[in-house]
Amino acid sequence: MFWKKWLSNKSNDTSLSDTLTDLRAVVVSDVGCVRTNNEDAARFIRPSDLVIRATKGFLAIIADGMGGHAAGEIASQMAVETIAKTYYQREESPEESLFLAFTKANRSIWQTASRNTRQRGMGTTCSAVVICDTKLYFAHVGDSRLYLLKNGQLLQLSTDHTYVQMLVQQGVVTPAEAEKHPERNVLTRAMGTHNKVEIDVEAVSYALENDDRLLLCTDGLYDYLSSDEIAQLMLIPTLNEAAQRLVEAAKQRGGHDNITVLLVERVSTETFQSPRPTQEVI
């Protein structure tokens, strides 16, 4: 892909190697116990060039597609690929680059669906987070979620774009009632269902420090697990085991939807040998 070549061809600045930490990431995605195809998609991008890594950071993306005839799968893959490519092509700030990448992805999905009757109405949720050293920037549409585990406490950084969340904000229902509400998965925003979409873009006030972990997940996870249960499983020392256990726990509760988790943690470059540059996981 072009964006992989673009990242790999940039000149390296080894003088930055001593000042940067690295990230470890893992994705686990499961079709669940009921569905026959997986409409989720996720990527983690690690730039090989240290200058790009310092200015544009690492990028983690997750998407949960919707639409008949496997169109949801197409929409989620389009979102992830377009955002990854566009973000690193842009020279603006991380926030502006995320906004432009999401805008382009939304338009591309909308145009594709408009040209193909079988894909008409397809769309996807999408959440992406940029990690520049300890700073976090995220963009978000829909009800996939971004969490930060800090000092053992799970913080939800994204806000669901759902009908029930709107009722919570209006004081009509409580957060506890929202968890069991029959319309809790009705979206008020999605990528690709309209030519334009409102995108949440934000610089996070919390820093990603050593021993912290980020979690991006689709609703197939948090529909079955409470915040306390997610936090406890995220505390499992081995990142891969924590991701596997999160997915298995959701499946044991029913797993009626696809389940995807993307976990990220900071590691010291002295103890961590990076996988291949510009790594894509799943």
Which CATH number does the domain housing residue 245 bear?
A: 3.60.40.10
Q: Is residue 5 part of a domain?
A: no
- Residue 168 resides in a domain: no
Confidence at residue 278, expressed as pLDDT on a 0 to 100 scale: 45
Per-residue confidence (pLDDT) for residue 175, from 0 to 100: 86
- pLDDT (0 to 100) of residue 228: 96
147 phi, psi to nearest 5 deg: -120, 150
What total of structural domains would you count in the chain? Answer: 1
**177 domain-assigned:** no
Task: Please report whether residue 72 resides in a domain.
Answer: yes
- 6 lies in a domain? no
**Domain-located, residue 243:** yes
Give the integer Cα–Cα distance in Å for 234 and 243. Answer: 7
Nearest to 216 by CA among 42, 72, 37: 42
Q: Show pLDDT as tens, one digit a residue, over the chain (282 residues).
A: 434 444 444 434 444 444 456 899 999 999 999 999 999 999 999 999 989 999 999 999 999 999 866 799 999 999 999 999 999 999 999 999 999 999 999 999 999 999 988 888 899 999 999 999 999 999 999 999 999 999 999 999 999 999 998 998 899 988 888 888 888 889 999 999 999 999 999 999 999 999 999 999 999 999 999 999 999 999 999 999 999 999 999 999 999 999 999 999 998 655 555 555 444 433
- Asked whether residue 232 is assigned to any structural domain, the reply reads yes
Quote the pLDDT of residue 274. Answer: 53
**Residue appearing with tokens 């924590």:** 242
- Proportion of the chain in helix, strand, coil states, percent, rounded to 5: 35, 25, 40
In a domain, 166, yes or no: no
Can you give the pLDDT at residue 268? Answer: 67
pLDDT at residue 42, rounded to an integer: 98
Domain range enclosing 206? 21-152+189-267
- pLDDT score recorded for residue 47: 94
